[in-house]
Amino acid sequence: MTGPSPRVLYITGWMRSGSTLLGNVLNEIHGVRHVGEQYYLWRNGVLGAGTNSSCGCGLPVAGCPLWAAVLAALPEGATEAVAHRMTTLQQALLRTRHTPARLAEARGERPTAPGVTELLDHSAAVYRQVAAHGGDRLIVDGSKYPAEAAALLGRTDVDVRVLHIVRDPRATALSYRGAKDYIDPMSPARSSGYWTTFNLASELVGRTAGTRYLRIRHEDLARSPREVTTRVLRFAGLDDDSPVDASGRIRLGANHTVTGNPDRLRRGVTEIRPDERWRTALTGTDIAAATAAAAPLLARYGYPLVFTRPSRAADSVRTSRPTGRPVSRTSGPPARGEAS
């Protein structure tokens, strides 16, 4: 390896938390490359599995000039055999229940499992190539696997910072109830069960990461996008101005994201603002189910256990889309259902 270690802002937490939009906002800064969910580079990008094999630029990942150059430059190549090996190792070593083991390795309390070293050697090689192709100042990886964040903390050849994004689980429940066709719908109780598991695992990562960990709330990002993105930039070691203007607007250009919310295909001026539809769109039963399964962590994140139903409301980053309708894709990560 030559040159400085690639700097990676690794986003963790549960799905539907706004990581795609935040990544695309940061992607507007020179030298920052949002890669989407790099975890799925092997499965969706190289193997072309599922229907979410397109890059954020609209081309198939394998046909995207950026990813073609990155993959071609990998020391061991990006053959189907390598991709199958990587996906097998991911399943065996990076599930949420593996987070404590990966953290113990990162802290040096036990030898790193050979498979972990092999897998992370490939991830680091990809990061180095992305850094050489436009991501020399920062790579934003929205993969959201706590065990992968944990394993990255143990690497000396990757300068990783872990960003944990939390969102009100009732808003997540609404997002899953009306899931777009790239993810499977999920009941409020199930969504909140995963929410709790992934957030607890992310908090564990934070204990080991120390100053390399920052937690933000989706709702704060929606209400104060310029301030919160500035905070994230400083955490990532960048002194740039936020690309979001004082009114919460940003002009989004092209990106090269592997997998993620269909919103990643959005271009043009976008306004970031709160979206609190869950408060009126969910039934009382749905809210009760989503609340009960997440109750142990709600107060910790400043979310109320009970609330008065307003005339209008809910929680999420809602963006206007003056330029075209995002194309729906299938990310289909049923592995997200593995939780424990």
Q: Decide whether 34 or 217 has the Cβ nearer to Zn ion.
A: 34
- Residue 9 near residue 138, CB atoms below 8 Å: yes
Q: Decide whether 55 or 103 has the Cβ nearer to Zn ion.
A: 55
> Which residue has tokens 């190792």?
89
Q: Decide whether 51 or 117 has the Cβ nearer to Zn ion.
A: 51
Q: Which helix (H) or strand (E) holds 139?
A: strand 138-141
The least distance separating Zn ion from the CB of residue 57, rounded to whole angstroms, comes to 3
For residue 30, count other CB atoms closer than 10 A to its CB. 8
DSSP symbols for 240-297: PPPSS-TTSEEEE-----BS--GGGG--EEEEEEE--THHHHS-HHHHHHHHHTTHHH
Q: Decide whether 55 or 150 has the Cβ nearer to Zn ion.
A: 55
Q: Decide whether 41 or 250 has the Cβ nearer to Zn ion.
A: 41
Instruction: Report the DSSP pairing between strands 7-12 and 159-166.
Output: parallel
Q: Which residues would be at the binding site for Zn ion (CB under 5 A)?
A: 55, 57, 64, 256
The least distance separating Zn ion from the CB of residue 56, rounded to whole angstroms, comes to 6
Per-residue tokens: 103: 């953290």
The least distance separating Zn ion from the CB of residue 338, rounded to whole angstroms, comes to 28
- Residue 267 near residue 255, CB atoms below 8 Å: no
Question: Residues near 10 by Cβ (< 8 Å), separated by ≥ 6?
Answer: 141, 143, 148, 149, 152, 160, 161, 162, 163
Q: Decide whether 57 or 119 has the Cβ nearer to Zn ion.
A: 57
Q: Which SS3 state, helix, strand or coil, does residue 187 take?
A: coil
Distance, in Å, from the CA atom of 233 to the CA atom of 239, rounded to the nearest integer, reads: 7
Q: Decide whether 33 or 256 has the Cβ nearer to Zn ion.
A: 256
95 forms beta bridges with none
Distance, in Å, from the CA atom of 81 to the CA atom of 85, rounded to the nearest integer, reads: 6
